[in-house]
Structure 1
């Protein structure tokens, strides 16, 4: 694998770097990937990219993609991670968008893809249910055909940022008598302003409102909102999850996180010795960097495969497992590095000097909150235990 950039790729990197420098919204500087933002803040960079035509680099050109090579997409991720840019939310661009342009009809493509690209329409995901998370095929939300509508009843949980959503994509059971649980499930697009939908907040340990319960009571949805064929939604769900898992790996941002960790460990001391120079902590960082490099090569091979016309396959499970484990280890080491300064006194608490709480260096802010929030990454997108089953079956043939 040749890891050297060509002159053309270096020129592209410079173009991307200059565009980000000149156009990234100033109000988002330093925000990173926090979840307590307004709808406008979440969408600000997305809308800039939509106007430029850069909001969906992985999409085919005929649907609004950039036509970039796998290397250009890699450079794009690296440059955004370098400045901690708040990227477009995945629910539209990385998840439902590819499902619609791959399996949807022309009317659905014309209606929904432009709003996803521009950032004018916010999507949420209705997959998990109480008792149907990792075992998603046991979902119980029903969609019963009534003339030219489906009537949907059920409950979804962990619907991320649904409080802002205009539309949602939901898995619903349309054939309760199917022989296998994966059969009889359909993929349906739902206007979140439809009567009968109630979104209830789930407050996280840090006090933020990131996820929700979504209740659907006699929600009438036009049959034209069914994607693909009735009772074949499991196929589309697996396709979507493969795209989601590839994105969860977060290699570029983890690399940036390691740089920050090294800087923190250079400032923090143990008995007067910089933490980075202690044998135990230096070993932990080195092992993390080795694993991250191996993951990066796997991601590059996956991108090259996609560039050759192959969609993400079971290798996306490898990216998901290792990527989320690395993210968790990174936040653990960051919390270890800042020590008691990382105590979670309150979300968003600035260092206050002498008020009795929030005392400490700026780099300690949010260390605990990030650690707690990253506990979820090994669960969403299909738990890592399930991903190991997929790897053993689809890759190892066990």
Structure 2
């Protein structure tokens, strides 16, 4: 149970969302209709002006100094109200990594621009032959005088077409004895650097969220190396740990669960013991994921690098997302199967989006490292795997 003070804080956040985020934008988010980059940026500016863009950051870098429970309440309230997600790449993934491993010059330049939304970042990790098995990446970077010269290709790069910056993993020592060695992290200016070609990947739903990115003798200043050369694999653990915390999408799952209960009630499904049991199982699973996420957040804030709890969170959170969207489609029935504006159910014009959202969440068990790879990592860490 939250204290009276914590409940007052939640109400303060709720009222801020309702007064600063347009109702039509929140409706789009809640119905999985998609929002524009301009709408997301407007919400980012509103949060930044209030000092709430990065509540989990330390005070010295523009954070709020809130406790873990306050950060949790804040995130949950925003998600429940349908506020747009600001994205994970800059605020949740790169920012904390630079705080741990970046130079003072990097912190001074990039952290304020991440906080304000002036820079929009994407993540250059996956490649055609190195997605879930990230250690197999082949994009090369060679140090020539005061620049790294980058050649290769990144794949499935989310929002690269809207970003002006990328943090990328590149191979800087091809002769390293193990594939995890010899990898470095670079900060790349996508908007002002010659030799970068961003090509769209159009998904089955006709939308563009991912891209191919090609590097042809791209020069990146040596000062844009994060930490030490050939230590990028270590730094990626911090990045991916923070990514997997957000991939669990606890707030979104809470909103989806509430929507499922509402639709199931309207459809009379709550009279079915079987369907009620399926809803209860999802609710119990969400409670367990919340407990794991809170424990991991406390450890990260105490300075620990995320361990296998991040892998566990990624697996269970992504599987719950998929389960809830499947249950929503089942609850909506035939109306959810309609496609195209002319085929929508006039009584429930939102229902067709449930099926689209169901398909969209099929990918969450793949990106961020497939769940099969995550299970292998957990097994090896616990001494249960046969790999080296």
Distance in 1 of aligned mates of 2:174 and 2:347:
57
Distance in 2 of aligned mates of 1:230 and 1:304:
30
Q: Does 1:345 align with 2:339?
A: yes
Deviations 1:129-179 (A, max 9, x none): 001011111111011111111111111111101101110011111111111
Distance in 2 of aligned mates of 1:58 and 1:236:
19
- Give the equivalent residue in structure 2 for 1:246: 245
How many residues were matched structurally?
383
* Stretch moving more, 32-41 or 257-266: 32-41
- Give the equivalent residue in structure 1 for 2:287: 293
- Give the equivalent residue in structure 2 for 1:141: 139
Distance in 2 of aligned mates of 1:301 and 1:231:
31
- Give the equivalent residue in structure 1 for 2:364: 377
- Give the equivalent residue in structure 2 for 1:151: 149
- Alpha-carbon shift at residue 93 of structure 1 (Å): 0.3
Distance in 1 of aligned mates of 2:335 and 2:383:
45
Distance in 1 of aligned mates of 2:241 and 2:158:
18
TM score, norm. by length of structure 1? 0.91
- Give the equivalent residue in structure 2 for 1:213: 212
Contact 2:28 2:34 in 1 (8 A): no
- Alpha-carbon shift at residue 279 of structure 1 (Å): 2.5
SS in structure 2 opposite 1:181?
coil
SS in structure 2 opposite 1:47?
helix
- Give matches, 1:228-247, under 5 Å: 228-247=227-246
- Give matches, 1:287-366, under 5 Å: 287-343=281-337, 345-346=339-340, 349=341, 355-357=342-344, 359=346, 361-366=348-353
- Give the equivalent residue in structure 2 for 1:93: 91
- Give the equivalent residue in structure 2 for 1:103: 101
* Stretch moving more, 30-39 or 380-389: 30-39
Q: Does 1:28 align with 2:28?
A: no
* Stretch moving more, 242-251 or 357-366: 357-366
Distance in 2 of aligned mates of 1:306 and 1:213:
32
- Give matches, 1:11-22, under 5 Å: 11-22=8-19
Backbone CA RMSD of aligned residues: 1.8
For structure 1, the residue ranges without an aligned partner over 5 or more in a row are 269-273, 350-354
SS in structure 1 opposite 2:153?
strand
SS in structure 2 opposite 1:163?
coil
* Stretch moving more, 293-302 or 150-159: 293-302
